[in-house]
Amino acid sequence: MVIDEGKGYKVKGEVYSVASEVLAEMDRLERISEPDGYRKVTIQVLCIESGELLKAYAYGKPIDQLKNADIRKKLAGEYLLEHSELYRSRN
């Protein structure tokens, strides 16, 4: 996800409930405390089954971090497993 206030489009995806320890591990994996790491933001999502608005965490990069980025795949409306398979940890 690119964090660019006021720009973007809706993306279909999945929301999971995780324990605080798992969320902490995800934060570490996404390197949220590193200058070039992802940022964790709170977003609103619409459950297409119930119509309920939910708050969820999402990880994204601020637009200024992506000037020389190697973007391998752009979303076409839905975040799929193939997108997550492109991710490689730096550790």
Question: Is the CB of residue 59 less than 8 Å from the CB of residue 38?
Answer: yes
Structure tokens at 26: 């995800």
Cβ-contact 13, 78 below 8 angstroms = yes
DSSP-based three-state secondary structure for 78:
strand
Predicted TM-score of the model (pTM) = 0.74
Strand pairing partners for 56? 43
- What is the four-CA torsion angle of 32, 70, 75, 41, rounded to 10 degrees? 10
How is residue 56 written in tokens? 């969820």
Per-residue pLDDT in tens (0 to 9) along the chain, 91 residues = 788 777 777 778 888 899 999 999 999 999 999 998 999 999 999 998 999 999 999 998 888 888 877 766 666 677 777 766 766 666 5
